[in-house]
Each structure stands twice: as structure tokens, then as C-alpha cells.
Amino acid sequence: MSAAAPPFWMSQAVTFLSAMALVSAFGILSLRTLPLCIRAYAVQSLVLGLAAFLLAIHPVRAHVLGIAAVAILVKGLAIPWFLFKIIEDVSIKRETEPFVSYPFSMLGGVGLTLLSYAVMEPLSGSDPFAARGFALALTLMQLGLWLMVGRKKAVTQVVGLLVVENGLFVAALSVSFGMPMIVELGLIFDLLVAVVVMGLLVFRIQSTYASINTERLSRLKG
């Protein structure tokens, strides 16, 4: 977030919202119940959308305001609603057998967070605000990937993919207080398509194997 130094109140507010986004990511890693994981993702998307809104009002940046509105409506409301419909239709509520245990998952998440902030530490001297933004972005992307490889349920893996996209969203904001709106709209459209396709895949796995554990797909080999 390097175009100009933000006002102190904005810096503090965005820092608080960034902390909430990070806490929500760890919440997703620690939660066994799929509805709570989806709610944690919705909270993360809403606070990041609100952070983008704050960055867009001083000075006013119309395209960033548009990005913030789209992020709140699509990622904070529409996508979580669709995921709730998926788990309601397949009647799956819990992640009971993860590839990576929950304590080790949290420990790995802490390690990835420390690594992300350590990597970005050299940038803090020239632009501390941008460095924190990039550190959060890298953390979210790594935690999302960590969630994807550590869980068996397809819905949880979709949530991991969405957390990765939130990391990309933060990285884009950190570059110059926002990417062009057409780029963000294109990314969100691709994200919606990916979520819909993954939803159809979840239904197919459920109807074929009476489960949404992705390890069941290994039976298709050979």
C-alpha cells in the first residue's frame, strides 16, 4: 500500500482489520465444523472488503470503492451462501478425518505466519505499511494452501482456495491501494466459476461415493 502514507487513524483501523483477517484464517484451520469454517471465511472477506473501503476514502478512489463493494457482496455474502447450500444439500457438517491433525495444522500455520513476516521484514524500513500488507497477503496464501493439503473434505478445500484468493486480494491492494477494477472483476468472476464447478464436483463425489472425502477419488485410478 505504497502510493502515499495513509493517515494514522486509517493505518490503525486497517491494521486492526488485518489482524481480524489473520485470526479468522487461524479459526478456519482450527475448526472442525464446516458451517463455522464458512462463517470464518465470510468474516475474513468482509473485514478485507471493509479495509479496502477505508483505503478508498482518503483520498477518494472510485475504482477501489467498487472493488470493496464487490468483495463484500460477492466474497462476503454470495459465495458463503452458496457454500452453505452445498453442505446443506450433501448433509455434511464436520471435517472428522483430516490429513493433518488439528494441533499440527495450527503449529504449521504459526510457522508459516512467522516465515511470511520474516521474509517481508527487510521491506519494513522503506514502507512499513506496504510491508505489513504483503506479509498478510503471503500469510493468507500460505495458510490457504496449507488448509487445502491438510483436509479431506472437498468443501474445506474450496474454502482454502478462497483464502488464497483473499491473499491475492490483499497483495493487489498493497501494490498501489488497489488494482484496476476490471482486473478484480475478472478475478472474482473466475472465482465464482471455480466455486460453482467445485460445487458440482462435490455433488458428484457425494452421489457416487456417499462421501465428499477427496481421497475417494483415488479409486478412479487404473
Cβ atoms < 10 Å from Cβ of 8: 8
* Amino acid letter, residue 51: A
Whether 74 is covered by a domain: the verdict is yes
Whether 3 is covered by a domain: the verdict is no
Whether 219 is covered by a domain: the verdict is no
**Total structural domains in the chain?**
1
- Separation between Cα atoms, residue 29 and residue 145, nearest integer Å: 11
- Cβ partners under 8 Å of residue 182, min gap 6: none
Whether 112 is covered by a domain: the verdict is yes
Whether 217 is covered by a domain: the verdict is no
Whether 181 is covered by a domain: the verdict is yes
Structural domain range at position 195? 8-209
> What average pLDDT does this structure show over 53-69?
81
| Tens digits of residue pLDDT in 41-58 | 999 999 999 998 888 887
3-state secondary structure of 94: strand
Q: Which of 36, 37, 16, 13 shows the shortest CA–CA distance to 143?
A: 37
| Tens digits of residue pLDDT in 108-154 | 999 999 999 998 888 776 777 778 888 999 999 999 999 988 887 77
Write down the pTM of the prediction.
0.81
Torsion of CA 130, 131, 132, 138, to 10 degrees: 110
Between 216 and 18, the higher pLDDT residue: 18
Whether 220 is covered by a domain: the verdict is no
